[in-house]
């Protein structure tokens, strides 16, 4: 199943809650949010039913996201349901705060891999950036991943000029000890990033310049199919990634879509509208009817949100705060990042 740019649908990010226990300044900086109504949230059985349809249409990678997914009660039960499906990859992205208490249950349930967000190694910076004093819990969560038996762990770092741009080397060195591959993510102007400004973006080019100055020659590696991060190797074989969504978008190979916790399906992080899968599912649509709904939408997909944004002159935050307050679906934390 290919879209109008001949991109397949392989990757589904499922947000299991729009709630988060942090308030990172690049994602959820506001004091107040409008939350999705609880009655609208998909049950685990509904998510599992939808994943069956997506798997039949070619999805073989599923990532659970939020908000913060570990705030969803009994998440390992959903993992157990999804782990029984023919997926190549079943992963979780978490901010790590609650991870240490759940990591063994997640492993036992069949979760494949974990990515933890970690923007800084300094507790004071973490508190200032996330507006919460949770840094020790995050580090404890990261430390619990390998002993629980997980491999292929990743650390996601949003690289911000003037905030953590002096920690690139320290984070890579920390990643070696976990062990985890660090991926630096350029600051994106998606919904929720209400304080985004071009000068706050630490570009991929600048990151590579700084890392080369420290480590010596850096070798680009062949990219995994459709993976958002370009991967690189240091002279000693340590690898790291850069997700350069802002300065060098990778929309041309984008095979991912996003399901919100209330069952809206977004074909692009920048899409203004999602396709409501919840209502037809609750109204009794058959597997074939749901498959047709999804297929028709994917065939018509022409989204290249980050490429379109790059072409904008005088770039400002993508969605103004007033619009975000009217429709929480425009928020990145609702779409699962």
* Contact footprint for ligand SF4 (CB under 6 A): 249-251, 254, 268-270, 303-306
The least distance separating ligand SF4 from the CB of residue 222, rounded to whole angstroms, comes to 19
Decide whether 252 or 323 has the Cβ nearer to ligand SF4. Answer: 252
Decide whether 20 or 268 has the Cβ nearer to ligand SF4. Answer: 268
Strand 61-65 relative to strand 11-15, pairing: parallel
The least distance separating ligand SF4 from the CB of residue 276, rounded to whole angstroms, comes to 19
Decide whether 76 or 305 has the Cβ nearer to ligand SF4. Answer: 305
Tokens of 26: 């690049």
Cα–Cα dist 225/13, whole Å: 16
The least distance separating ligand SF4 from the CB of residue 121, rounded to whole angstroms, comes to 28
| 67 annotated to bind ligand | yes
Tokens of 172: 């890579």
Decide whether 24 or 243 has the Cβ nearer to ligand SF4. Answer: 243
Decide whether 186 or 303 has the Cβ nearer to ligand SF4. Answer: 303
Phi, psi of 195 (to 5 degrees): -110, 15
Tokens of 182: 């660090």
| 107 annotated to bind ligand | no
Q: Where are the beta strands (DSSP E) in the chain?
A: 11-15, 61-65, 89-94, 113-117, 154-159, 181-186, 219-220, 230-233, 239-243, 256-259, 264-266, 275-276
Cα–Cα dist 334/337, whole Å: 8
Tokens of 236: 């000693």
The least distance separating ligand SF4 from the CB of residue 5, rounded to whole angstroms, comes to 9
Buried (b) or exposed (e) across 237-250, using 16+ Cβ within 10 A?
Answer: ebebbbbbbbbbbb
Answer yes or no: are the C-beta atoms of 158 and 25 closer than 8 Å.
Answer: no
| 266 annotated to bind ligand | no
| 26 annotated to bind ligand | yes
- List, as residue ranges, the binding site for [4Fe-4S] cluster: 20, 24, 27, 251, 254, 268
- List, as residue ranges, the binding site for S-adenosyl-L-methionine: 26, 67, 117, 188
- List, as residue ranges, the binding site: 13, 20, 24, 26-27, 63, 67, 93, 117, 154, 188, 251, 254, 256-258, 268
- List, as residue ranges, the binding site for GTP: 13, 63, 93, 154, 256-258
């Amino acid at each position: 199943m290919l879209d109008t740019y001949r991109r397949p649908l392989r990757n589904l990010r499922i947000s299991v809650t729009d709630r988060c226990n942090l308030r990172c300044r690049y994602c959820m900086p506001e004091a107040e949010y409008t939350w999705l109504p609880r009655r609208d949230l998909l049950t685990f059985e509904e998510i599992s039913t939808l994943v069956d349809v997506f798997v039949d249409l070619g999805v073989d990678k599923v990532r659970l996201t939020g908000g913060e997914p570990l705030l969803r009660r009994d998440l390992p039960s959903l993992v157990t349901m999804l782990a029984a499906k023919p997926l190549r990859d079943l992963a979780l992205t978490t901010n790590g705060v609650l991870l240490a208490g759940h990591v063994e249950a997640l492993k036992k349930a069949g979760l494949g891999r974990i990515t933890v967000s970690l923007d800084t190694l300094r507790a004071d910076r973490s508190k200032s950036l996330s507006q919460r004093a949770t840094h020790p819990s995050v580090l404890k969560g990261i430390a619990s991943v390998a002993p629980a038996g997980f491999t292929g762990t990743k650390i996601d770092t949003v690289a911000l000029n003037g905030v953590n741009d002096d920690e690139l080397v320290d984070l890579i060195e920390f990643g070696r000890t976990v062990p985890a591959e660090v991926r630096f993510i350029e600051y994106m102007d998606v919904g929720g990033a209400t304080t985004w400004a071009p000068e706050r973006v630490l570009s991929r080019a600048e990151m590579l310049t700084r890392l080369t100055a420290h480590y010596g020659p850096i070798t680009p590696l062949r990219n995994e199919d459709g993976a958002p991060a370009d991967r690189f190797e240091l002279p000693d074989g340590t690898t790291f990634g850069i997700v350069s969504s802002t300065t060098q978008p990778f929309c041309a190979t984008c095979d991912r879509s996003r399901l919100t916790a209330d069952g809206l399906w977004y074909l692009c992080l920048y899409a203004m509208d999602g396709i409501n899968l919840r209502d037809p599912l609750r109204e009794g649509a058959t597997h074939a009817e749901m498959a047709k709904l999804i297929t028709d939408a994917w065939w018509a997909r022409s989204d290249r949100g980050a490429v379109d944004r790059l072409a904008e002159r005088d770039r400002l935050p993508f969605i103004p705060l007033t619009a975000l307050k009217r429709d929480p679906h425009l928020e990145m934390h609702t779409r699962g990042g």
